Amino acid sequence: MAKWTPKHEAPEPLEGPVVATITGGTILWFVLFLVQVPFYGWFDDRDLTWWVWTCLAGAGLGLIGIWYVRKRDAAIKRHEAARAAGADPEATPGA
């Protein structure tokens, strides 16, 4: 069997409003947690409390994600600014 080789170059990755997307998802997880908290007894009676805690974990991980993508976005902007200024972006401290 021959090894598969690509016939064309891979496309550039799509960049969109990453920070807004992660923030929206984090808010959604937290709202779902808040909606489920008043029904905690119902979830507990059916041994489904993991639904409530999964939403809280999603919100917590989303906060980490917001921090990460904001730092990433700032690093990309610094890199582009250094490239536009003609400096070597690899030699820029903090890049």
Please tell me the predicted confidence (pLDDT) of residue 94.
Answer: 56
Q: What is the pLDDT of residues 80-93, one digit of tens each?
A: 999 999 866 566 55
Q: What is the pLDDT of residues 29-41, one digit of tens each?
A: 999 999 999 999 9
Please tell me the predicted confidence (pLDDT) of residue 15.
Answer: 80
Per-residue DSSP letters for 38-75? GGHHHHHHTT-THHHHHHHHHHHHHHHHHHHHHHHHHH
Position 56 pLDDT exceeds 60: yes
Radius of gyration of the chain, Cα coordinates, nearest whole angstrom? 21
The rounded percent of the chain whose pLDDT value lies above 70 is: 88
C-alpha span between 90 and 79 (Å, rounded): 8
Check residue 90 and report its DSSP letter. Answer: G
Residues 23, 25, 27, 30, CA torsion sign:
negative
